[in-house]
Amino acid sequence: MENLTNETSQVVNPHFELLLKVETLLKAKFGVGILNSELQYDFPVFVVEKAIIINVLEFLKTEPELKFSFLTTLCGIHLPENKGAEFAVMYQLHNMEQNWRIRIKITMPNEDIKVPTAIGLWPSANWMERQEFDFYGFKFEGHPDLRRILNMDEMNYHPMRKEYPLEDGSRDDKSDKMFGR
């Protein structure tokens, strides 16, 4: 009985409906390329193979039933603990007519942080990708102008990576071992 009510409440949830709809269409088109799908708060989130990311984005943008034609934002994530998939990039798409929003994620290991560029689909991806290159060092393949954007050109590391401390490393009054993370 409890399961039943849970299911019905999930079906009523419009975000869950959207998750199912997009999942069905994506799986029909890309099959095993779609690695995972789940609902995180009010967002359907899909993890897809890195190699097909541009195809997936293009499909989501052009498929008449979906029309996710607006790229809200994209950003990189560094998960050093997550061995074999230390880096991730998330894309957030928006269908303004239906007011649907979804998030697409790709993951990749340390050694291979090349990502195909999304500029061909959205010119707005230009600076967003430059920013994530600046912060994390993602190599956006096919990007016409992959330079640092916010930090100075002479900087020789990518500061948002978790291994770089914010403050002087010798200080320990704020370290995680004192207070936990």
Contact track, other proteins, 116-145, x by CB under 8 A = ------xxx-xxx--x---x----------
User: Phi/psi of residue 46, each to 5°?
Assistant: -120, 130
For residue 171, the tally of other CB atoms under 10 A from its CB is 9
Which residues inside 40-99 make contact with other proteins, applying CB under 8 A?
40-41, 43, 45, 69-73, 75, 77-78, 90, 92, 96, 99
Q: Shortest Cβ distance from residue 18 to other proteins (Å)?
A: 13
Residues 6+ apart with CB under 8 A from 87: 76, 77, 78, 79, 107, 108, 109, 110, 113, 136, 138
* Residue 103 lies near other proteins (rule: CB under 8 A): yes
Residues forming a β-bridge with 95: 100
Whole-angstrom Cα distance, residue 102 to residue 116? 20
Q: Is 114 in the site for other proteins (CB under 8 A)?
A: no
Applying CB under 8 A, which part among 5-13, 39-47, 49-57, 106-114 lies near other proteins? 39-47
Q: Does 174 bind other proteins (CB under 8 A)?
A: yes
Q: From the centroid of its chain, how far is CA 180? A: 27
Using DSSP, state whether 129 is helix, strand or coil.
helix
The residues of the shown chain that bind other proteins, judged by CB under 8 A, are 40-41, 43, 45, 69-73, 75, 77-78, 90, 92, 96, 99, 101, 103, 122-124, 126-128, 131, 135, 148-152, 159-160, 166-167, 174, 179-181
